[in-house]
Amino acid sequence: MKIAVIAFAAGCLLQSGLQAAEEPAAKAASGTASPIATGDTDLRSLLRDVGQRLHKKFVWDPHLQAAVELGSLQRQELTYPQLLAILQLNGYVAIERDGLVEVVPNADARQAPTPVVSADNIKGLDDELVTVVVTLKNIGTAQVIPILRPLLPQYAHLAAFPDRNALIMTDRSANVRRIVEIARSLDSLPKAPADLLPAKTP
């Protein structure tokens, strides 16, 4: 009797083990397997692939992180603007010069030799880094710095050149266009009536 009970128990354990082993294979076959873990795309490999496909030569900071998340983007269809956006989200910027695309941390961006563009013609890709000089006519640049500075990321640069009433700014093209538009909008506002101005202290 004991032998029969032991044999029955062993059979049950064997059957449950076989079922557990078959479940992952069944999920994979039915397309319901668990999704790939996030952050699974090697950034260095991605830069090589995109560079080869788009005929761009990438070099990067030695501390470049190993993996990034592409979301719903397809690696083999990734465009250059999309790659720049991915770098931006992961704290890097790409600077193209002399036939190379240098990928550096955002913290080093303001010291990089970015192209200087006209404030009236800020073209280029949204996530490309540019430098612009914009002059104001009606308000002092020192007045607008406290207003505009919080609208820029920490790594960006914004400074006033009082002798020419000009602003010098370095950031990604999309944000530079926005800041220039805001600065010029402030510059074109009509003067406030005297009774609305803050009283001067004696």
Domains and CATH numbers, the chain: 41-108 (3.55.50.30), 114-188 (3.30.1370.120)
What are 106-155's pLDDT values in tens digits?
888 888 888 999 999 998 899 999 999 999 999 999 999 999 999 999 99
The edge-to-edge listing of strands for the beta sheet with 100-105 is: 58-60, 100-105, 92-97
With H, G, I as helix, E, B as strand and everything else as coil, classify residue 129.
strand
Report d(CA 152, CA 14) in Å as an integer: 64
- Alpha-carbon distance 62 to 64, whole Å? 6
What does the pLDDT look like over 154-195, one tens digit per residue? 999 999 999 999 999 999 999 999 999 999 999 999 886 655
pTM of the shown model: 0.71
- For residues 77 and 132, give the distance between their C-alpha atoms in angstroms, rounded to a whole number: 32
